[in-house]
Amino acid sequence: MSTAGQVIRCRAAVAWESGKPLSIEEVEVAPPQKDEVRIKILFTSLCHTDVYFWDAKGQNPLFPRILGHEAGGIVESVGEGVTDLKPGDHVLPIFTGECKECPHCLSEESNMCDLLRINTDRGEMINNGKSRFSINGKPIYHFLGTSTFSEYTVVHVGQVAKINPEAPLDKVCVLSCGMSTGFGATVNVAKPKKGQSVAIFGLGAVGLAAAEGARVSGASRIIGVDLNPSRFEQAKKFGVTEFVNPKDYNKPVQEAIVEMTGGGVDRSVECTGSIQAMISAFECVHDGWGVAVLVGVPNKDDAFKTHPVNLLNERTLKGTFFGNYKPRSDIPAVVEKYMNKELELDKFITHTVPFSEINKAFELMLAGEGLRCVIRMDE
């Protein structure tokens, strides 16, 4: 029996207030409107960004809210005007979008869509400024336009990547955010050549995805930099060949890396958001050709300084957002890389929990355990 055009009642994990465990509730999910699709979520995973906004220390708290943005599912129904998706399509909802019409989308160089780029403050759908979720008639806010901690969610068509139906959603769901961000930062932005050296600052999930990008690119040395030595053993699986803990040196870590490499690394990727790491990542690359790429999100009032001579000596400093991938145009091909065994994902998934135990995923992340915890929605 078709549910198209009808309100669906289903389970969702609702964040009622900041820092309090999520509560599994029955919610009502309205049908998709113009340019929207309703998706049955099968697997979702927890990303640090969900925890950051659940904790709501650094930004405008918006509650009650359904968090979640790293996921895979199947289209249940489509709204008016949606032509490139149909019920039954396998998809990844993505926290940023691609309208395919704005100057950014028409540019080959950008993925920062004017209409659908990430907006952490918005809790409603852009079509009519209202939420598609409610409990007893009271609206529940959306998160990043995805809200995947629900058995069904409504997403703007521009934020939905249609992928190979053969791809296992319980694995490729992690490509909808963190893994693509790190992997793309290396392969699309740093672009190491075969045999070059790469330093990765921060060995969390995104940093290890950046290391995976360096491994796939044929880097000869991949130097992992982290303040937590317990991350070093795990990082070997991702191609990291040597480790540097800044605490072990009585000089700036960039100086140590320059010495280790006889002048600096060829590429560096910064995945921590710490300004100190950003300076180190830039100053540790080789003069003449070195490229440093910033991925980590800084605090609001942060600024950093470096001597302009570092740039005049032909070092390059770049930034990236979502690995420079356009969600609809590029992510399906990243899924194919996984299908063709050019990219490994299974090693990123260190835990799985049933939906009823979603708070366990938060506990694991807060304890710094594992990389990605995949949540199975059918349990």
Please spell the DSSP secondary structure of 144-177, one letter per residue.
TTT--SBSEEEEEGGGEEE--TTS-HHHHGGGGT
* pLDDT the model gives residue 300: 82
Q: Measured in whole angstroms, how far is the alpha carbon of residue 135 from the centre of its chain?
A: 29
* pLDDT the model gives residue 222: 98
* pLDDT the model gives residue 2: 86
> Residues with Cβ < 8 Å from 12, sequence gap 6 or more?
24, 25, 27, 66, 133, 140, 147, 149, 150, 151
> Which amino acid does the sequence have at 323?
G
The arrangement of strands across the sheet holding 23-29 comes to: 8-14, 23-29, 133-135, 138-140
* pLDDT the model gives residue 1: 75
Pairing of strands 372-376, 36-45: antiparallel
pTM for the model: 0.96
3 closest CA partner among 41, 44, 40, 43: 40
User: What is the DSSP secondary structure assignment for residue 323, as one 8-state letter?
Assistant: G
Domains of the chain: 8-176+345-376 (3.90.180.10), 182-321 (3.40.50.720)
Buried b (16+ CB within 10 A) or exposed e, 110-121: bbbbebbbbeee
Task: Give the pLDDT of the chain (379 residues) as one tens digit per residue.
Answer: 789 999 999 999 999 999 999 999 999 999 999 999 999 999 999 999 999 999 976 567 899 999 999 999 999 999 999 999 999 999 999 999 999 999 999 999 999 999 999 999 999 999 999 999 999 999 999 999 999 999 999 999 999 999 999 999 999 999 999 999 999 999 999 999 999 999 999 999 999 999 999 999 999 999 999 999 999 999 999 999 999 999 999 999 999 999 999 999 999 999 999 999 999 999 999 999 999 999 999 988 899 999 999 999 999 999 999 999 999 999 999 999 999 999 999 999 999 999 999 999 999 999 989 999 999 999 7
* pLDDT the model gives residue 61: 82
Cα-trace Rg, the chain? 21
- Residues with catalytic function: 47-49, 69-70, 99, 102, 105, 113, 117, 177, 372
CB atoms within 10 A of CB 75: 22
Q: Dihedral of CA 297/254/192/286: which sign?
A: positive
